[in-house]
Amino acid sequence: MSGIRPLRREDLPAVCTLYERVVRSGSTDPAPPLVRYFERTFFDYPWSDEEIPSLVYESADGEIVGFLGSHVRRLRVDGRLLRLACSGQLVAAPESCHRGVGALLVRRYLAGPQDITITDGATDYMRRVWTGLGGYTVTAASIGWAKFLRPAAVGAAVASRIGHPRLTRPLQVLGPAIDAAVRRLGRRHGLIPAEPTTVAEVLTAEGLVRQAQDADRSLRLRTDYDSEFTEWLFAELLVVDVRGVPVRHVVRTGDGLAVGWYVYYLAEGGLAQVLQLAAPAGDVGSVLDHLLWHADSHGAAAVLGRVEPALIGELHPRGCVLVPTDWSLVHTRDTAALALLGSPQALLTRLDGEWWMGHHLLWADGRPSMTSHRAGVP
């Protein structure tokens, strides 16, 4: 019988074959690392929930022709514990005779028992599907920001990523001289991050749990981190080294007072991606200043993030510009939680969703699709 059912472990080879063929290399032979990665992130993580499973669409002859990945998180909303479902990887066999497999999977997933459903990497098509099913666009989180530190290096990185060697090579050769001139001009106008007066220390799993709990005085909606999940999360961030080296810092004043924290991927000579930046006490500018200085001092070409409510008003004075990014979508019947999303009293970032995960960023042999970055960045 054809139709939608929960993903089972024994389905993973078939699901990965479909994913490899449609999304990644075009091969029908997925690498074992991809199967193991799917198993870890869909089954073997601390907050796995059998009531909110990943889904497959099975044809009448028993072939898996569609898949939607599920990542479950836990939220605190005004003290209430809610289940958050992150709609992840979605793929359908293009030759399937079942029209609208992807939309059918999304409809079933949104009808699950979770309190809130989100996705952070939606396309225009998926935005239309979600809104047609009663979902909403999270406006601020659907806008990106960028701080360009070495513009020529940004051009080289983008040209390399999209496969334009005629642009890549000249930019790599001439880029350092161009960027040196741009940075001299930028320093005269205060556009290059200066060394901050704050200091940073490594944000541990326990530290994130503690910082988030301490933020309850100012946050009404946040992820309900615990040590087991946060340890798993930080370990998985390391696996996706194609994005760079994960950097996790608590930012403190000179007398040791914590003003906030940040988590981002540092790509030396490339694009640094911000996953989370928080300053519950209100000094978000100091946290942002430290992040930008750290990325600049370690050679990042640019820092990219999405617009969180607390950052509005802090980006323009630091020479950051708005850029396109993926759609951030939400579906919920909890009106209190919906009202909080997009407000400064909520902390729900890319770290808490599926955006950073790396199934689609690896080649068929399990290697990163771009050069791995060095480890050991403080």
pLDDT for the residue 32: 81
Pairing of strands 221-223, 346-347: parallel
Contact 145, 366 (CB under 8 A): no
pTM over cut 0.75: yes
User: Given this model, what pLDDT does residue 25 score?
Assistant: 74
Start-end of CATH 3.40.630.30 domains in the chain: 3-142, 144-326
Answer yes or no: are the C-beta atoms of 171 and 152 closer than 8 Å: yes
pLDDT at residue 34, as a whole number: 87
The domain covering 3-142 belongs, at the CATH homologous superfamily level, to Gcn5-related N-acetyltransferase (GNAT) (3.40.630.30)
For position 375, what pLDDT does the model report? 37
Closest CA to 277 of 248, 242, 243, 301: 248
Q: Which amino acid is at 259?
A: V
pLDDT of residue 367: 45
Report whether 56 contacts 67 (CB < 8 A). Answer: yes
What's the pLDDT score for residue 153? Answer: 80
Distance separating alpha carbons of residues 63 and 261, to the nearest angstrom: 46
**Residues in the chain where the model's pLDDT stays below 70:** 1-2, 97-98, 159-164, 166, 168-169, 171-173, 175, 362-378
- The CATH classification number of 144-326 equals 3.40.630.30
Distance CA 312, CA 70 (A): 31
- CA 95, distance to chain mean position in Å, is 30
Q: What pLDDT shows up at residue 73? A: 97
pLDDT, position 10: 96
CA dihedral 240, 241, 243, 248 (to 10 degrees): 90
Check residue 136 and give its pLDDT.
96
Confidence at residue 188, expressed as pLDDT on a 0 to 100 scale: 73
